[in-house]
Chain A
Amino acid sequence: MTIWERFDNMDRRWVYLMVALAVIIPFLVPMKFDISITPEVQSFYDAVDNLPDSCTVMLVFDYYPSTAAECEPMAIVAAHHLFRKDCKIITLSNIPYGGPSMAETVTRAIAKEYDKKYGEDFVNLGFKYGYVAVLKGMGISIESIFPTDNSGTPLAELPMMDSVTNYEQVSFIYEIADNATADYWISIVNAGYGVPMGVGCTAVMAPKFYAFLGANQIVGLLGGMKGAAEYEILIGKPGTAFRGMDVQSMVHFVIIALVIIGNIGFFVTKRRNRKKSA
């Protein structure tokens, strides 16, 4: 058996082991690879940075806990950037699992750093079932869809919501998603009500959203952990996404090497078999 045939028949668990080592080693020995800022992240940052101070922004937690590794760093940088600009933040979620509690955890933790108060500077509307009805309904009245906030307090008792009736008072939508709800924010809210928006999504979804970016339907795009890491650099708060990029690069090296070696092996074995049969 040649080395290529042996490689071809290698137990897949060796690949898992190689990937595991590529993940663990950079955590223990940081390699500090450079992270360049891509135009889509820069334009996202600029759009948020150019918002008028004290404006109202919707920060949407449309991701499940399973993708928190990619999406939570985006939510954290968004909250930092928005609180730093004194923006009023309305958080909500269109997905049933975890969205409202993650919104609560992230915004409350970061609000403390900027001395922001719940009800005056940020509000968590929580979750409501049926995203199409929710997104369309909020165009008429947010209170009709969310009569209370996530903890059951009527919106009428939250001072921040006095001046917010519907999308007309919302300056920007910061959508963080790991599923198709981002499509509906674009097609229903952005197209229907003209509210500018930026999307932070998982890497799996990112290629699709470049089309919306190219058509100026969204002002910027954070694609996966890389997008979040770039935003962390832009706001000067390197966090979990930034730390994860060394690992990301290392695993990519391993996967690229395996793909190249696997393909060389495939062609060498094919050529040898052809020679044998001839």
Chain B
Amino acid sequence: MSGIEILQIWIIAFFTLALFSFLYKDNPFYRLAENIFAGLTTGYQVSLIWDTVIIQKLWDPMMGGQWWLFLPGLLGLMMFSRFFPKISWMSRVPLAVVMGITAGIFLTTQLHGFVLPQMQATMNTFVTAKGFADYFLASLIAVGVISTMIYFYFSHEHVGVLGVTAKLGIWFIMISFGAHFGYTVMGRVSLLIGRTQFLIEDWIGTFSYIF
């Protein structure tokens, strides 16, 4: 292992331990690590966008003869007019373009990619069911979907049959929250495992080279 690799591991270990130190209480090491992280990510993002968007997708092609790209460039510049109250109205033009394009793209992709396939799959559960277990699960899905959707139906007061179904919907939502919470715990623990694995295997591993 080279000296630079060992130094790199020690820097990572220092920042990992500095961030973990917040679990005991707020301290200068934690704040140092937090601020360095915020500064680094901002600087990295700015340089990355400058290179991959401004230079590669705008400046270089324009210099290569695609002069019409000055239009999106101009729209981008107009966004900055928000900083000047007298001409801030100009920022609405690029915003309108972005909103129009986004709505157009997402309307079709959301419908085609999410709503229709999910509806089709929900309706198909009975068609593809084989045996009691499948029919039971298909019924559970049907009841879950309908009762949850009724919970989010606010045009009538939730009383009577509507109220009972909406309450059932809450139960399904709560069970879903439980599953999400369980997975969230698993995910967060995995991240802790990753850091601990690094500290035990990589960082402590360098001790034999140094001491």
Contact = CB atoms under 8 A, between A and B. Distances in A.
B68 interface: no
Given A16-B23, A97-B44, A216-B121, A207 B183 contact: yes
Contact of B190 (A19, A136, A215, A224): A224
A24 B49 contact: no
A38 B189 CA distance: 20
Interface in A214-264: 214-217, 223-226, 240, 243-244, 247-248, 251-252, 255
A127 B173 CA distance: 37
Contact of A69 (B102, B176, B197): B197
Interface in A110-138: 127-130, 132, 136
A97 B113 CA distance: 27
B161 interface: no
Contact of A67 (B44, B183, B191): B191
A23 interface: yes
A170 interface: no
Contacts of A3: none
User: What range describes how many residues of A lie at the interface?
Assistant: 35 or more
Interface stretch (A81-89, A157-165, A187-195, A265-273): A187-195
Contact of B196 (A24, A132, A202): A24
B48 A96 contact: yes
Interface stretch (B28-36, B75-83, B104-112, B152-160): B104-112
Contacts of A7: none
B189 A190 contact: no
B1 interface: no
Interface in A74-97: 96-97
A203 B114 contact: no
Contact of A252 (B114, B176, B185): B185
Contacts of B49: 96, 129
B191 A27 contact: no
A175 interface: no
A244 B113 contact: no
Contact of B187 (A23, A202, A214, A243): A202
B139 to A, nearest CB: 15
A223 B186 CA distance: 10
Interface of B: 23-24, 41, 44-45, 48-49, 52-53, 57, 102, 105, 109-110, 112-114, 117-118, 120-121, 176, 179-180, 183-197, 200
Given A96-B49, A129-B53, A216-B121, 14 more contacts: A19-B192, A23-B193, A69-B191, A69-B193, A96-B48, A97-B41, A132-B102, A191-B112, A192-B112, A203-B184, A214-B121, A224-B183, A248-B189, A252-B186
10 smallest CB-CB distances across A and B, nearest first, come from: A69-B194, A187-B113, A215-B121, A203-B187, A191-B113, A225-B190, A203-B186, A204-B187, A244-B193, A187-B109
15 contacts: A27-B196, A69-B191, A70-B187, A97-B41, A97-B45, A127-B48, A191-B109, A204-B184, A207-B180, A207-B183, A214-B121, A216-B121, A223-B183, A248-B189, A255-B185
